[in-house]
Structures are given as structure tokens and as C-alpha cells.
Amino acid sequence: MPSSSELRELTDFLTQHTPFQAVPDDELAQLASGAQSETYPAGALVADYSTRVPDDVWMVRSGQVVLRSSADGTVIDTVDVGGIFGYLPLLTGAGSDFDARTAVSSTLIRLPGALVRAQFAKPAGLAFLASSGWTPAARPTITTAIDNRPVSELLHGDPLLVAPDASVRDVVIAMTERHVGCALIRLPGGEFGIFTDRDLRTKVVAAGLPLDTGIDRVMSAPARTVTADLTADTVLMEMLECGLRHMPVVTTRGEVVGVVEDADLLAASARQSFLLRRAIGSAASTTELETAGARVTAVAADLFRNGTKATATSAILSVVIDSLVRKALELAIAESGQVPLTFAWLTLGSVARREAMPSSDVDSALSFAPAGASDPLRDIAARVHRTLDGCGLPSDSNGAVAYRPAFARAAPDWASAAEGWLKHPLVDRGLIMSSLLIDGRVVWGDPALHTVPAVYRRLRTEGRDALRLQLLNALSGKVRTRGLRDVLSRRGGTFDLKNHAVTPIVNLARWGGLTAGVSSATTPARLAAAAQAGSISERDADTLCDVFAMLQRLRMAHQVEQISSGRSPGDVVTMSELSPLNRSLLGEGLREIAAVRRRVGGFGVPRG
């Protein structure tokens, strides 16, 4: 806490510089009370905005700070006495590709982000943003939140390759000398085995095996591999799905080029998801599982706070929820004392698309082999959802849950129902049911039991009316139009980010995916498939992907803030509380959605 004399000096300094010159005395005193002065030597790193989302803003009291691009080190800006930096990452709620270092010995003022954010929503703050280049003529750029770098760019060093007849001692010595966490074992036929530090602990030391044991007895084989052209995000999801910390990377010809580790893909905080999935997998009872599951939303919030992008956070959250569902099923089957029929558990909705938010509920369905009744399975499904409720993951409020008869059917019955939805999409909620089941993804059981996608692959040629209604559904909605007007005119009231902005993109992507023969997939993947099929232009697909990423970031930032303040997460924002930058981004994004919808509506349903 600054002394009274320091407070006076700090207050005087703030009043001499924008955007604090017009701040009322009481608010200025509060700002000064929450500020801290820190002195740095020349060349010191003050903040790296590429790795974290800031919760404060810096002001130069003496000296000078240089902002440089994280990509190539070029100078973006220099901040002199009275200048501030870090406010754009704070307002957008996302990391930026630059860092801040002192050019000379400097004294800086660290200002609390919440108080500064409030000042930017006022006329003086808006004027400052305008003078710093934030003007209608300089429209904001909506940037994607997806890491599209090839995983090959993350590799460092050559992989350690050993022969199958090597001993554990020889391999461990080689791993120590090379400072690597795993070794690859070349197998006949071009495949690889893998031996990791964890294998040493669990398969050798814990098992009491001698060090002259052959490595082929304790390796994992065949090792899962990924090709070097896949993106970092794709590989991350593969590793999360499998619970792996090391993934060999190969060329399209199968030649190994390196091993990517979870540390290469994740910030340290993001490894919580691996630890959480391990706790979920080891839960021996419903009580233990609920204890582990109660950490899910907190882990997601921590991921985002510590710089993990919103799309990656959503995907990780979806993977963890999948793990919870599988473990809850395992426990429910054991508790029921019954050996159920062969069945598949389908996750529906945003979790199925790997786009879950902390506010997401859990939609589900069951598809089972034709010989038998559904009652035992529905009882197991009810147990699963009670466990998920105990984990803080509520069941779908509209009743799309696997213990209800409409969502628990034999595989042939699902196929028959899908045929009916194709022919009569407005009968028995056919349009709604088809949208839910098209998104469905099998997280337990035989994927062949999910029969709806096979029916809908014929949609382009045999379901013209159903396809046209999917498009009309994607283009409809008076509420969204009213929401758009409210945002663009910057009126007060509330705005539902999911229903008014995200859902139109999701629906349009679902229709576009169906025209390309793609059923369950992420929204960006469906849009890319639609562009490739010619249903929408490549430019419109890219635009919607960018807007979707921006909206997911806004939603995640809003919900994480709600969680931090002890409230339940949701998608309704108060317009007056949005920062000027986020309000402008939202308005720009909604303009883009409306423009694409107009173009797609004029283009119509593509011919088969």
C-alpha cells in the first residue's frame, strides 16, 4: 500500500496524462491506491503478452519501454514517460504476439486492470482509444484463435532410436545422455515401439525387473504416431484423447522425424487437464469421481486465464467431459450388476463438436443392438447423468438425455427415424432431432451403432427438402436481427452471445457440412468442407471461422469472469459492461454473419 505522500505524487502524475486527466477525484484515488510502482533495469522483460492474458496495465513513470513482436523481434512501439501499454490485450481478453522490455532503467506503474477497464468505457477512455488508432476507419481485425502451425515446427532435436534387443540399462543411459524423456524402438514392418520415463517407473522399477531386461518386454507397441503436416491443435487433441505425453512424428512415408511432448504443446497450467483425466480414470467410486469432476470448470477457467486460447480450452474441456462420461458409465454398469447389451453412448451438442464452454450442459443418446429392451440401459444412463450432475455438469434442460425413450433406441430404429426425418423434416421434431443426432459423436461402444450419419450422407441427393429446411433454419431468426441492431447502435440491455451470434454460425456450418457429406465435426471443419464442396465461398468460410473464434473468446472470457466472481457461467452479457473494443469486435462480427447469410441465402441449396 503506498504511503500518503506516495499516493499524492502518484495521483498528481496520473492527472497529467491521458486517459486519466478527466477522472473524478474519488475514482482517481481508488486507482492510485491499487497501483504499484516497480523499478526495472535496462533490458528487463516486463510482460510477455504472447503467453498470458494480462490483468493489469503498465504506465511508464520514468525511462522507456520497447514493445517487440514475439515472431521476429521487430519494434512495434516505444512507450515513453506517461505512456501506457498492455491495455489492448486487457480489453480483448486474449494474448497478443508481443512482449515489453525496458530500453533503459525504468520505473513503471502497475495499474489494476478492472479499474482501468472501467475508465476506457468512459468518454475520456474512448477518446484515448480513438487517438491511439482505434477508429471506425481502422476497423478491428478479427483474428483466429486456432494454432495452425504444423507440429513439425515444434520439434527440437533428433529422436532417440534404439534396437529391439537393447537392454533397459542401455536405453536409460542413452536417454540420460541425450536429455530426452523417451526412446523409440524400430520394429519390423516400419512401426515403432516407445519407452518413456513413466514406463521405467511403472513397468521396470515398480515391477522389480532387472535392468538387463530387454527393452522389447517393457515398451509400448505399436506406438501411436502423427504425420508432420498436422497442426499443433490436432495433435494436442490426439494426445489428450489417448492420455499420452509423447507422440512420435513421422513423414507421410513413415519415417520418424521427432517426438513432440505435451510440454511443447501446452502451457504448464494446461497440464492440469492431464492430471485431472488421470484422477478421473483412477476414481474407484461415484464419490471419488464427483470429487474429481467438480474441478472441471475450474481447470478450464485456469487454462484460459493462463493464456490457452479459447478454442483449445473448449476442446480440452470437451475431452475431459468425455473422460468423465466414460468413467461414469463404467461405474454405473458395475453398480447396476447387469451386463448390458452391446450399445453406443453418444454425446450430442457442443461437447460432441468439441466446442464446450463452462456453461455447457450434457446432451446424450443411446444406440443399442436390436435384440433386447432399453430399460436396463436407460437405468444406467440415469445413473450416469446423476453422477455428472454431482460433478457440476447438468443434464440438457430440454430433455435430450439418454434415459428418455426418444433418445434411447435400437440402431435400426435410429436409422428408420432418420429416414423419416429426411422425408418429413417438420413431423415429430424431425429438424431438431436430426440436428442433434447429426452432431452426435460416439464416446463409448461400437461406432457402427450410430446409424444416423449413414442415412444423412444421402441428404444431398435424397433429402432435398430436409436440406433446404436446414438452410432455412440457419438463415432464420428475428431475435438475432434485433440483437444485431442493438449491438450496432450500442444500446443498453443484454445480448445472448450463444443464441444471437454463435448458433447462426453453428447452424450454417451444419448445413454446409451436410452438403459436403460431413456429419459430426467441429464448426470450422464443417465450414472448410462446405467451401471445398462449393456450398459457400472460401472467403465466407474463412470469415465465419474467424468470427466464430472471436465469439468463443468473448464467451470464454465472460464465463471465466463469472466463475471468478462466484457466479454461474452463462452467455448473456450486459452491453454497457462490454469494453469498447469488445463491443466493436462483436458488432463487426455480427455484420459479417449477416452479410454471409445474405449471400448464402441468395445462392440457395447447391444442386446434386
**pLDDT (tens digit per residue) in 152-173:** 777 878 899 999 999 999 998 8
Confidence of residue 537 (pLDDT cuts 50, 70, 90): very high
pLDDT reading at 362 higher than 90: yes
Q: Is 50 exceeded by the pLDDT of residue 479? A: no
Write down the pLDDT at residue 544.
92
Q: How far apart are the C-alpha atoms of 20 and 25, rounded to whole Å?
A: 10
Q: What does the alpha-carbon distance between residue 579 and residue 595 come to, in Å, rounded to a whole number?
A: 24
Q: Which residues on adjacent β-strands are paired with residue 260?
A: 247
* Mean pLDDT to the nearest integer, 334-360: 88
Grouping H, G, I as helix, E, B as strand and the rest as coil, residue 167 is strand
CB-based contact 521:529 (threshold 8 Å): yes
Question: Residue 141 has what pLDDT?
Answer: 35
Helix (H, G, I), strand (E, B) or coil at 363: strand
Query: 430-449 burial, b if ≥16 CB within 10 A, otherwise e?
Result: bbebbbbbbbbbbbbbeeeb
Residue 440: half-sphere exposure toward Cβ, Cα within 13 Å: 31
Give how far the C-alpha of residue 47 lies from the chain's centroid of Cα atoms, to the nearest Å.
Answer: 24
Mean pLDDT, range 509-526, rounded to an integer:
85
Round to whole Å and give the CA distance between 551 and 523.
13
Run of H or E residues at 599: helix 580-603
Rounded CA separation 316/459 (Å): 32
Other C-beta atoms closer than 10 Å to the C-beta of 402 total: 27
Amino acid at position 516, single letter: A
Quote the CA–CA distance of 475 and 5 in Å, as a whole number: 62
Using CB atoms within 10 A of its CB, is residue 468 exposed (0-12), middle (13-18) or buried (19+)? middle
Strand partners, 368: 343, 410
Task: State the average pLDDT for the chain.
Answer: 80
> CB of 156 within 8 A of CB of 148?
no
Average pLDDT over residues 370-381: 81
Set of cell numbers at residue 410? 435400437
The DSSP H or E segment spanning 60 is strand 56-62
Q: What are the respective helix, strand and coil percentages of the chain, to the nearest 5?
A: 50, 15, 30
Q: Is the pLDDT of residue 51 over 50?
A: yes
What was the pLDDT predicted at 241?
67
Cα separation, 161 vs 194, in Å, equals 9
Which residue would you say has higher pLDDT here, 554 or 2?
Answer: 554
Of the pLDDT bands very low, low, confident and very high (cuts 50, 70, 90), residue 129 is: low
Q: How far apart are CA 495 and CA 447, in angstroms?
A: 38
CA–centroid distance for 175 within its chain: 34
pLDDT of residue 485: 54
Contact 392, 294 (CB under 8 A): yes
pLDDT for the residue 357: 95
The pLDDT confidence band at residue 211, using thresholds 50, 70 and 90, is: confident
- What stretch of H or E contains 348? strand 343-348
Under 8 Å between Cβ of 575 and 489: no
CA gap 104, 128 in Å, rounded: 26
pLDDT at 146: 37
Single-letter amino acid code for the residue at 412: P
Q: Are 84 and 57 in contact (CB under 8 A)?
A: yes
Question: What's at 496, amino acid-wise?
Answer: D
More confident residue, 93 or 141: 93
C-alpha cell at 197: 520415463
Cis peptide before 606 (omega within 30 of 0): no
The C-alpha angle with vertex 201 and arms to 197 and 206, in degrees rounded to 5, equals 165
Residue 207 has pLDDT above 50, yes or no: yes
More confident residue, 229 or 1: 229
Strand 56-62 with 106-112, pairing: antiparallel
Q: How many angstroms separate the Cα of 363 from the Cα of each of 370, 394, 401, 556?
A: 23, 9, 5, 20
- Closest C-alpha among 490, 459, 506, 514 to residue 587: 490
Pick the more confident residue, 581 or 142: 581
Residue 143 has pLDDT above 50, yes or no: no
d(CA 300, CA 564): 12
pLDDT at 161: 93
